[in-house]
Structure 1
Amino acid sequence: MNDNTQAQRVKDLVLRGFAEFAAGNVGILRTLLREDFVEHSPGNPSGREAFIEFIAQAPVAGSRLVLKRVIADDRYAVVHYHMVPPGDERGVAVVDIWRLEGDQIVEHWDVVQPVPEPAEIPNGMF
């Protein structure tokens, strides 16, 4: 399989998972995450079941997620999106980095930044 085909497969897998999760299906993570999943974000647990239990209670699970872009290669997918929790229309800008092996996610990093007042970002956040 060439790199372009593999990169598209990684991108498609992450896009399907993102769409399912954004629609409220937290259970999709049981299929996507490998059992020994490693989490790099401070305060978030590693391991598939511990991470799913944590994320189901986290603000992201109840937020509107608006996908802005996805960049993928043969092992990584980078997802940039606007997370809008109830009652916070500005929300936060999120970049998730997922490392995959085969058809499962094995590692995750993220960067989360509150969206400031529009006057502070004349070129926009997204």
Structure 2
Amino acid sequence: MTTDNKSIVQRALTELIETGSTEGLEPLLSDDFVHHRPDSTSSTKAEWLAAVQAALTPLADMRVEVRHLLAEGDHVVMHSRRQLPGAGPEIVVVDIWRIEEGLITEAWEIIEPVAQAAANLAWWEAAVR
């Protein structure tokens, strides 16, 4: 099961990156797909696909290096480093995907600019003082 789930996520990302379109990604998402952001906002399948499609053109030359792709049960976790086009920043992204009946049903995403990582390591210090 976990190998199949990893394959589903790999296929979805390959379709997206190789074609520069969400057309091949769309059938891999369930109709009730939900995408969650750290700020507690969520988007539906249609909203998320529209946002991803809008970002594809300016990010067409983004480099993506998948560092880890792990699966456990119905969840797949991907840790990647991405270099935005031109002089754009390098970012680290953690995506968590939930698979149900062979389709991606839920996704969570956390993005951190590499240049800000050191500052984010000490977020708790102010609370401790």
- Secondary structure (helix, strand or coil) at the match of 1:21 reads helix
* Seq. identity, %: 28
Does residue 1:57 correspond to 2:54, yes or no? yes
In structure 2, runs of 5+ residues without a counterpart are 119-129
Partner of 1:35: 31
Greater C-alpha radius of gyration: 2
TM-score by length of 1: 0.77
Partner of 2:87: 88
- Given that 1:55 and 1:61 are in contact with CA atoms closer than 8 Å, whether structure 2 keeps it comes out as no
TM-score by length of 2: 0.75
Alignment of 1:1-126 (within 5 A): 6-23=1-18, 24-41=20-37, 42=39, 45-58=42-55, 61-62=59-60, 63-88=62-87, 90-116=89-115
Cα-to-partner distance string for 1:81-116 (whole Å, 9 max, x where unaligned): 112211236510000000110111111111111112
- Given that 1:77 and 1:97 are in contact with CA atoms closer than 8 Å, whether structure 2 keeps it comes out as yes
Distance 1:35 1:73, change over 3 A: same
CA distance in 1, matches of 2:115, 2:97: 26
CA distance in 1, matches of 2:110, 2:6: 19
Return the letter of the residue paired with 1:57: A
CA distance in 1, matches of 2:52, 2:41: 8
How many residue pairs get aligned? The number is 113
Q: Alpha-carbon deviation of 1:70?
A: 0.2
Q: Alpha-carbon deviation of 1:15?
A: 1.1
CA distance in 2, matches of 1:22, 1:44: 25
Q: Alpha-carbon deviation of 1:61?
A: 4.9
- Given that 2:5 and 2:71 are in contact with CA atoms closer than 8 Å, whether structure 1 keeps it comes out as yes
